[in-house]
């Protein structure tokens, strides 16, 4: 019993830094969002339009690229096209505003992707349940054969080569940022294992396992895209947070002067 308790304590302690780090990031995001919404609301309409255009101009550049990208450099270049050359403090302020616009767009895209991944996980869970029911039926068939008098040992079920129909891969893009993800496919309706012969059960198990493997491959690709987008979002949040720390007292005055 002591070993079990010790193991549970170790698991908790190992996971605690990850949990606290995620919680700290969430608190940071909420703090940045609240402050940036207040500052963004203080922008003059003409400046707000320029910030929106600067953000829109680099959306594709940032989110079409895989892995690391210099978001700050992209923001500076886009801002210069809209506002011209500016003093460093003004530029930093606009960088934070542009990144905040990008963050809002990405937040919507991430919700869209996670909703689709949730649907995919539900389909995978149903497929696993179907495979379990098929395997239970297969085991029941073997037991019945053993129980039949005069039959002796149960004959080995013959595994037939099955031509598994490939799942059609259909992709979509988020409404904002055009991040590509896999749409959840519609699988064939499950059959009742009780109505199948031995060979049909075995064939259906192979087909269902192939479908599940294909779904898992799709999920892995989408998880990589989601992880990449989330890393870029955290990079934006950190940049905004850093700017706000160094310019806390002057941001409001700078924003009122932007045109």
Reported as type and span, the H/E element at residue 151 is none
Q: Which tens digits make up the pLDDT trace of 105-156?
A: 888 889 999 999 999 999 999 999 999 999 999 999 888 877 766 555 544 5
Q: Please provide the distance, in angstroms rounded to a whole number, between the alpha carbons at the two ends of the chain.
A: 69
Q: Give me the residues paired with residue 83 across strands.
A: none
Q: Is the pTM of this model over 0.75?
A: no
Distance of alpha carbon 241 from alpha carbon 36, whole angstroms: 10
In sequence order, what are the residues at sequence separation of 6 or more whose Cβ sits closer than 8 angstroms to the Cβ of residue 34?
A: none
CB contact at 8 A, 35 and 244 = yes
d(CA 49, CA 259): 10
Which residues pair with residue 180 across a beta bridge?
A: 173
Strongest mean pLDDT among 44-58, 164-178, 220-234? 44-58
**Would you list the domain boundaries of the chain?**
44-257
Task: Identify how many contiguous H helices and E strands the chain contains and give both numbers.
Answer: 6, 2
């Amino acid at each position: 019993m002591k070993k079990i308790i010790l193991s549970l304590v170790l698991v908790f302690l190992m996971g605690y830094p990850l949990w606290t780090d995620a919680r700290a990031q969430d608190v940071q995001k909420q703090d940045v969002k609240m402050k940036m919404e207040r500052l963004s609301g203080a922008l003059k309409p003409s400046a707000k339009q320029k910030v929106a255009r600067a953000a829109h101009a680099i959306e594709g550049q940032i989110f079409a690229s895989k892995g690391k990208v210099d978001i700050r450099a992209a923001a500076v270049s886009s801002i210069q096209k809209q506002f011209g050359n500016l003093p460093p403090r003004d530029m930093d302020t606009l960088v934070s505003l542009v990144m905040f616009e990008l963050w809002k767009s990405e937040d919507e895209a991430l919700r869209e992707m996670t909703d689709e991944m949730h649907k995919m996980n539900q389909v995978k869970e149903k497929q696993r349940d179907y495979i379990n029911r098929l395997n239970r039926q297969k085991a029941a068939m073997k037991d019945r054969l053993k129980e039949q008098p005069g039959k002796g040992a149960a004959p080995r079920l013959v595994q037939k080569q099955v031509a598994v129909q490939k799942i059609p891969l259909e992709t979509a893009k988020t409404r904002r940022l055009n991040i590509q993800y896999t749409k959840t496919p519609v699988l064939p309706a499950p059959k009742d294992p009780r109505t199948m012969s031995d060979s049909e059960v075995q064939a259906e198990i192979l087909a269902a396992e192939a479908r599940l493997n294909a779904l898992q491959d799709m999920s892995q690709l989408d998880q990589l895209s989601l992880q990449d987008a989330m890393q870029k979002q955290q990079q934006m949040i950190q940049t905004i947070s850093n700017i706000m720390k160094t310019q806390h007292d002057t941001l409001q005055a700078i924003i009122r002067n932007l045109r």
